[in-house]
Amino acid sequence: MRGKPTSLDIAHLAGVSQPTVSRALRGSPMVNEETRKRILAIAEQLNYKVDKNASGLRRQHAGTLALLLFEDPTADESHINPFFLPMLGSVTRACARHGQDLLISFQQLSDDWHAEYGDSHKADGLILLGYGDYLAYQGKLKKLVEQGTPFVRWGAVMPDQPGLSIGCDNVGGGRLAGEHLAALGRRRIAFLGDASNHYPEFLDRYRGCEDALQAAGLSLDRALQVDAESAEDSGYAAAMALLERGLPFDAVFAASDLIAIGAMHAFHERGLRIPEDVAIVGFDDIPAARIATPALTTVVQDTIRAGELLVEALVRMINGEPVDSTRLTTSLVVRKSTGAGA
């Protein structure tokens, strides 16, 4: 036998027809138990693997999911948001459990990705991860829906959104941050992050924090809000801009840990003490949050569960089963950047 064995090779060796081999291998109930065992044994011995291309072609599907990670147009090559790493791990493992292969690709929001996958049968569905301007994104999502390409995205769950999303409860997370800072007696809280409908997740975090502060008789002063994207240098710049304004503040809620860490650099440079002068809360609990000095208090998202849900939802969608958007609960991990905790 030369080259890779085929189902026909196995059929010859087992003394059955090729379709019977195919049935036996796929676990069809209409194959005699004896026959199946014989076939399985031979397949095992030859190290036979079903040809993915042939099977995919015949069944008109790929058995493959594609993970598209969107990056900031500004992001330099080496910086992928570390927040996505555990999620990627979780998605990968979940795919394996579901018997799906996983294709990954980095995309610019501007690319032609919406057409690339479905039509070529490279993947049966898409998992979309990544920050970026939501309004720019939305149009593409609509096209995907029109084309009938199954997809799930990680992000804020919103009414009237095209397609389905799995996200954390950003409002709830923001609320946790606000409650914590209020309970610590902080009064003038700054928000670093773009709080507009271009970044619905950040906006929800802002609103959640605002809710909590209002419930405590405080408010989130818009004059203390500075736009920032989820990147250290952006957080640094935002903190500097905040200081420039010359308004008093005693706490910062950063829309992400990367922003928070950048801001901490800025405060250190300017001689502000954390948490004495400024308490800081981040969002995401990336590995750096624990390592930073002082260690960063932050809102934790369950990225592992998120990855699993993304895959489950997509697989169900591909199978035509009903699926809903899901919001995952968040929790707060208190560390020294707010003067409490370990």
Kindly list the residues in this chain that would bind DNA in the complex (CB under 7 A): 3-4, 6-8, 16-20, 22-23, 25-26, 29-33, 35, 48, 50-51, 54-55, 57-60
φ/ψ (deg, to 5) at 78: -90, -5
Out of 12, 35, 98, 116, the residue judged to bind a second copy by CB under 8 A:
116
Interface with a second copy in residues 249-308 (CB under 8 A): 261, 287-288, 291-293, 303-304
Residue 62 interacts with a second copy (CB under 8 A): yes or no: yes
Measured distance CA(130)–CA(75) in Å, rounded: 12
Residue 53 interacts with a second copy (CB under 8 A): yes or no: yes
Rg (CA), the chain: 25
Which of DNA, a second copy, none does residue 29 bind to, with CB < 5 to 8 Å depending on kind?
Answer: DNA
Amino acid letter, 72:
D
Q: C-beta of 95: minimal distance to a second copy in Å?
A: 8
Nearer to DNA, 4 or 270 (CB): 4
Residue 41 interacts with a second copy (CB under 8 A): yes or no: no
Q: Which of 118, 164, 120, 162 is nearest to 143 (CA)?
A: 162
Which of a second copy, DNA, none does residue 96 bind to, with CB < 5 to 8 Å depending on kind?
Answer: a second copy
Residue 241 interacts with a second copy (CB under 8 A): yes or no: no
Q: List the x/- string, 66-85, binding to a second copy by CB under 8 A.
A: -----------xxxx-x--x
Measured distance CA(170)–CA(1) in Å, rounded: 59
Report yes or no: 63 and 99 within 8 Å, Cβ to Cβ. yes
Report yes or no: 48 and 268 within 8 Å, Cβ to Cβ. no
Report yes or no: 280 and 264 within 8 Å, Cβ to Cβ. yes
Q: C-beta of 96: minimal distance to a second copy in Å?
A: 7
Nearer to DNA, 60 or 78 (CB): 60
| Angle, CA of 196, 199 and 200, to the nearest 5° | 85
Which of a second copy, DNA, none does residue 8 bind to, with CB < 5 to 8 Å depending on kind?
Answer: DNA
Report yes or no: 191 and 220 within 8 Å, Cβ to Cβ. yes
Which of DNA, a second copy, none does residue 296 bind to, with CB < 5 to 8 Å depending on kind?
Answer: none
Q: C-beta of 160: minimal distance to a second copy in Å?
A: 26
| DSSP secondary structure, 190-246, as one string | EEES--STTSHHHHHHHHHHHHHHHHTT----GGGEE---SSHHHHHHHHHHHHHHT
Nearer to DNA, 1 or 342 (CB): 1
Measured distance CA(182)–CA(184) in Å, rounded: 5
Using CB under 8 A as the criterion, which residues of the chain lie in contact with a second copy when the complex forms?
4-5, 47-54, 56-57, 62, 64, 77-80, 82, 85-86, 88-90, 92-93, 96, 101-106, 115-116, 118-122, 261, 287-288, 291-293, 303-304
